Amino acid sequence: GAVVSQHPSWVICKSGTSVKIECRSLDFQATTMFWYRQFPKQSLMLMATSNEGSKATYEQGVEKDKFLINHASLTLSTLTVTSAHPEDSSFYICSASDGSYNEQFFGPGTRLTVL
């Protein structure tokens, strides 16, 4: 099956700093990528959808100025958490679709801890 990687797998940062998370599709071209957030013992909540070369579409309640998403190529999307605070600590998961509309391929996730 298609492989999606995320980097880093975990990160610890100080409050007020920015953190960038990368999501890569390794063996296919991802026309659409999705970013999810999962708090402990909770479900996955979609944060935003990004299509290559265009601006991301954010879900209601997600601050677009805080969570910057860039999908500059067909194999790479990045999520930057700006001025991170402890409440941003979460598990961030990306997924990618090749446009077949049948399945999203999930990355392994990035665990962010903000001190």
Partner 1 sequence: AQKVTQAQTEISVVEKEDVTLDCVYETRDTTYYLFWYKQPPSGELVFLIRRNSFDEQNEISGRYSWNFQKSTSSFNFTITASQVVDSAVYFCALRLIQGAQKLVFGQGTRLTINP
The residue ranges that bind partner 1 (CB under 8 A) are 1, 32, 34, 41-46, 49, 91, 93, 95, 97, 101-104, 106-109, 111
Contact, 6 vs 109, CB < 8 A? yes
**Smallest distance from the beta carbon of 93 to partner 1, in angstroms?**
7
Beta carbon nearer to partner 1, 8 or 108: 108
Q: How far is the CB of 83 from partner 1 (least distance, A)?
A: 25
What is the CA 102 to chain-centroid distance, rounded?
A: 20
| List of long-range contacts for 44-48, beta carbons under 8 Å, 24+ apart | 44/93, 47/79
User: What are the start-end ranges of the H helices in 64-113?
Assistant: none
Shortest separation between residue 45's beta carbon and partner 1, angstroms: 8
Q: Which is nearer to partner 1, 86 or 101 (CB)?
A: 101
- Residue with the two structure tokens 């700006």: 82
